[in-house]
Structure 1
Amino acid sequence: MEPNHIYQYSIINALMAGVADSGITVSQFRHRGNQGIGTFTKIQGELILLDGKVYQLQASGEIRTAGPDEQLPYAVATNFQPQQTISTKLKTKDDVDKVLEDFDGHAANLFMSYRIDGRFKSLKSRTVRGQEYEDQPLAELGSKQAVQDYESIEGTIVGFRTPAAWQGFMVAGEHMHFIDQERKVGGHVLELVSEGEVSFGVAVVNNLHIELPTSEKFNAAKMVTDDKGVKGIEG
């Protein structure tokens, strides 16, 4: 994988339609980049790829290392090489977008990837609990997601910023997952406040490869772009 190219398996619209019973294997995905995000079959928790390892962030708040043969119905990776790394304070989650804009204010219609390392005064994350019946849409899981609040916690955030026009293929705007330094807790980031300065690496991405599933369920699914639904589940 070339530096700062994005590889993606499937699309968010498929998850919204409940297509989550199979996908690319963890061993295949690990070769697509050095960091990334996604989910597991049946939408069981969140995924973070960091430094060559794939972790499952579970609804219990705990973390496990994923096995090589486990399947991922939706996953995004990049071979991240920061084009700039700065030290900065983040007073809110909105400050993440401000850092990206300050780096390249002309990248509104391009993708951006980033990695944030440091200690957070407070961080709120969520994890989905998984489908309760076959093909349950992702939007229905939003009301039953597990939310965790952390204080003075050190760790890493992996994220992507997606142009608004790509809503449904990916999550438009910010989409970021957190894992703590000890690899014990984490989830999809909803809110954050840094404790002092954090290290923030960023890169602009203009090359994107999307691999679509060929399963019968994927081809039979009725997919539409549910902007309200995606915003509701992804925060």
Structure 2
Amino acid sequence: MAINEIYQYSLVNALMSGVSDSGITVSQLIEKGNQGLGTFVRMDGELLLLDGTVYQLQAEGKIRVAEPDDQIPYAAATHFRSQQTVTVKLENKESIDAVLDRFNDHASNLFMSYRVEGRFSRLKCRTVKGQEYDGQPLSELGKKQFVAEYRDVEGTIVGFRSPAAWQGFFVAGEHMHFIDGERKIGGHVLELQADEEVAMGIATVNNVHIELPTSDRFNAAKMSTDDVGLKSVEG
């Protein structure tokens, strides 16, 4: 994959339909990019790919480095190289959009990838606890997700912004995961605030490669885009 192309395995709609029993391996994902996000088999926690290492951000605030043969039913990754790095303060999660728009205000129908590093005044993160039964949909898992709030924490956020038209393939709008500098806490970012300046690297992406599973379960799934459900679970 070239610099700042996005590789994605499977679809968000597949997770919404509970399809998460198998996928590509961690070692395969690392070949596709140096940063990214996703989830693990049975939606056990959040996935964060950072500088070539895949972390499993589990419920109750636990983090482990994933094994090379761990399977991933959904992920998006990129070989990220910043086209511009800015230092900014972030009042809230919506401030990310404002920074991206200042970088390229004609990219509403393109993808953007970014990386934010520094000290965050406040972060609210979630991790899904994993399926309780075979085929349990993501929207149902979201009702029992583990949510934690962190104050004055240093770390890295990796994210993508996807066009509205791609809802269900990707998560439309912002989708970002966080891990702290000590690799002890993290998760899917629901809310954020940075009163001190943080460094934000940004790249516009117009080349996307999607690999679809060929499993019987994926092909048998009844998929449709649940916009309300997606927004409720993805924040």
Do both share a fold (TM > 0.5)?
yes
- C-alpha deviation, 1:142, in angstroms: 1.1
How far apart in 2 are the matches of 1:2 and 1:142?
34
SS at structure 2 position matched to 1:118: strand
Q: Distance in 1 between matches of 2:3 and 2:77?
A: 11
In structure 2, the partner of 1:13 is 13
Alpha-carbon deviations, 1:1-52, whole Å to 9, x = none? 2000000000000000000000000000001001000000000000000000
The AA in structure 2 aligned to 1:226 is D
Match of 1:184 in 2: 184
Residue equivalent to 2:55 = 55
1:106-146 alpha-carbon deviations (Å, 9 max, x no partner): 00000000000000011100000010000001110111000
Match of 1:223 in 2: 223
- 1:117 is aligned to 117
Where does the alignment leave 5 or more consecutive residues of structure 1 unmatched? none
Q: Is the 8 A contact 1:152 1:195 kept in 2?
A: no
- The alignment's TM-score, normalised by the length of structure 2, stands at 0.99
- Give me the whole-angstrom Cα distance separating, in 2, the residues matched to 1:20 and 1:57: 17
Match of 1:201, as an amino acid? G
Which whole-Å deviations, capped at 9, do the CAs of 1:38-83 have from their partners, x for residues lacking one? 0000000000000000000001111100000000000000000000
Q: Which amino acid aligns with 1:170?
A: F
Q: Name the counterpart of 2:79.
A: 79
Distance 1:56 1:42 in 2: 13
Moved segments of 4+, more than 6 Å: none
**Cα RMSD (Å):** 0.5
Quick one: which amino acid aligns to residue 15 of structure 1?
L
Query: How far off its partner does 1:176 sit?
Result: 0.1
Number of corresponding residues: 235
- For residues 164 and 132 of structure 1, the distance between their equivalents in structure 2, rounded to whole angstroms, comes to 31
TM-score (norm 1): 0.99
The Cα of 1:195 is off from its aligned counterpart by 3.4
Identity rate, percent: 67
For 2:131, the equivalent position in structure 1 comes to 131
For residues 175 and 125 of structure 1, the distance between their equivalents in structure 2, rounded to whole angstroms, comes to: 12
